[in-house]
Structure 1
Amino acid sequence: MTMNRSPVLGLLDSWSGGQGAPALTWYGPAGERVELSERVLANWVTKAVNLLTDEADVAPGSTVGLDLPMHWRTLVWALAAWGCGATVVPSEEGASPAGVDVLVTADEAAAAPVVIAIALPALARQVDQLPAGAVDGAAELMAQPDVLISPPDWDPGALALGATRHAGLAEDLGVEVPSRERVLVPASGLDQGLRTCLAIWSTGGSVVLVGDPDADLDRIGEQEGALPLPG
């Protein structure tokens, strides 16, 4: 990944030019399994970048709150926010991020200058109960172009997540993961989960994210050929 542009945009470039290998596999609490190839995940993130820049004017210096559980859709919006050069502010212990410019949320009562409402069911194409004034993050996303309309600027020194700056999104995440492997990631806290998934992708790996707390992790790991997280 070159440092004259966002590491996340470099990651999207590598996925778009890849062979279609799985980048993200999701096991949800309702028993659903969703698999996104590198190209498909890059396409979803590209659409989300376009939506954030067009509908919410997200740019370097903007703050994007993620009021969502650890979920495959959450990863799409985190990558998109970083692709715009923004700071991601995850929810903590169920508390919605406050004071952000844009809030990506599944909470119908959430409030922010710009609210992007998310439908979490695997096959949802729209938000059923769209809050007044909110952007439908399902329907509007699918209407976005498949290529970046205005590739965003970025500031390498700006904060990306916590104390991690954008220039460190490829290596300064404080997470050790196997290199170039499929890795099993049980869904946990959003901050740590985002760091773990990005670390896996930055080493050329693939994420198997399990959002079902009752899932048989050994069975899923064997079925997917995925290694457990170290430690």
Structure 2
Amino acid sequence: MTATPYSLLTSALAANPTHPLITYYDDTTGERVELSAVTTANWVAKTANLLQGELAAEPGDRAAILLPAHWQTAVWLLACSATGVVADVGGDPKSADLVIAGPDALGPGRACSGERIALGLRPLGARFPAPPEGYRDYAVEVPGQPDDFAPFSPVDPGSPALAVAGEELTGAEAAARAAADASELGLANGSRLLSARPWDSWPGLSAGLLAPLAAHGSVVLCPHLDRLEGAALEKRHTDERVTHVA
């Protein structure tokens, strides 16, 4: 079976279901969130059901993903792969079928004429105090979705799946490149890769999610790591049992 980003998750789930998969730090707020493969898969299933059910997204539809490097961004990217929706990271909302926007991108996201989902990116996935105008609040919409997911129609690994920094990849190409990156980085089963890279390019997206996933490893995602130095940075490495850095 040809791999896709979503099948990398299902493979990781089968290999190490309860081990940490994504550990996210926001060093501007002190937030730390850790998701096992089981928890990640549950979020992805609920989000994929929201996509194909409530939002009526179909394979080949394009979702503009206007989100930073974040654990909820990872969930959306994998849910798009599960449903065959093209995840266009930083894409143009005007040409998208739907938009997934963080709090700093709500204005530009309104250019999308289709469905709009807003993410507050608040600690513990909390909802907005009031729903943003023109958007559904992800934190309100997703909890009631089913925990199990099955696509309405099979997803073709050879179809476009991911667009980032002007480059478009099929699901198979994205998974293959992630596996190659994992090998180049020396990742293996159980590796813990710390990444502070933004997700606005393939190298950042691969290091921060897909390459560790392909290796059955995990990622410590620290987009504001520049706030740490010296002993605090060393403590992060020690506390999180970091084996690799990107």
| TM-score with structure 1 setting the length | 0.87
> What percent of counterpart residues are identical?
30
> What are the superposed Cα offsets for residues 10-59 of structure 1, whole Å, 9 maximum, x if unpaired?
52364167440000000113111110111011101111100111122222
Whether the aligned pair in 1 keeps the contact of 2:33 and 2:124 (CA below 8 Å) is: no
1:164 aligned to 2:201?
A: no
Whether the aligned pair in 2 keeps the contact of 1:48 and 1:141 (CA below 8 Å) is: yes
**Which has the larger share of helix?**
2
Q: Secondary structure at the match of 2:24?
A: strand
Q: Secondary structure at the match of 1:220?
A: helix
Q: Specify the code of the residue in structure 2 equivalent to 1:20.
A: T
- Compare 128-137 and 71-80 and name the one that shifted more: 128-137
> What are the superposed Cα offsets for residues 117-149 of structure 1, whole Å, 9 maximum, x if unpaired?
101112243222323342211111111111015
In 1, Cα distance between the equivalents of 2:35 and 2:67?
19
Correspondent of 1:206 among 218, 222, 226: 218
1:66 aligned to 2:65?
A: yes
Task: Name the residue aligned to 1:54.
Answer: 53
1:194 aligned to 2:199?
A: no
* Unaligned residue ranges in structure 2 (runs of 5+): none
In 2, Cα distance between the equivalents of 1:49 and 1:7?
13
Cα displacement (A) at 1:102? 1.3
In 2, Cα distance between the equivalents of 1:38 and 1:19?
5
Q: Secondary structure at the match of 2:49?
A: helix
1:185 aligned to 2:187?
A: no
Task: Name the residue aligned to 2:145.
Answer: 144
Whether the aligned pair in 2 keeps the contact of 1:105 and 1:117 (CA below 8 Å) is: yes
Task: Name the residue aligned to 2:22.
Answer: 24
Q: Please tell me the root mean square deviation across aligned C-alpha atoms, in Å.
A: 2.3
> What are the superposed Cα offsets for residues 70-117 of structure 1, whole Å, 9 maximum, x if unpaired?
11111111111111112111117xxx6541111110233221211011
Task: Name the residue aligned to 1:79.
Answer: 78
Whether the aligned pair in 2 keeps the contact of 1:108 and 1:130 (CA below 8 Å) is: no
Cα displacement (A) at 1:60? 1.7
Q: Specify the code of the residue in structure 2 equivalent to 1:102.
A: L
Whether the aligned pair in 1 keeps the contact of 2:8 and 2:213 (CA below 8 Å) is: no
| TM-score with structure 2 setting the length | 0.82
* Unaligned residue ranges in structure 1 (runs of 5+): none
In 2, Cα distance between the equivalents of 1:198 and 1:10?
8
Structure 1 runs of 4+ aligned residues shifted over 3 Å read 16-19, 149-152
Query: How many residues are matched?
Result: 225
> What are the superposed Cα offsets for residues 170-193 of structure 1, whole Å, 9 maximum, x if unpaired?
222463331221110114243333
In 1, Cα distance between the equivalents of 2:4 and 2:153?
9
- Compare 133-142 and 44-53 and name the one that shifted more: 133-142
In 2, Cα distance between the equivalents of 1:220 and 1:97?
37
Task: Name the residue aligned to 2:98.
Answer: 102
Q: Secondary structure at the match of 1:138?
A: helix
Whether the aligned pair in 2 keeps the contact of 1:71 and 1:187 (CA below 8 Å) is: no
In 1, Cα distance between the equivalents of 2:236 and 2:116?
35
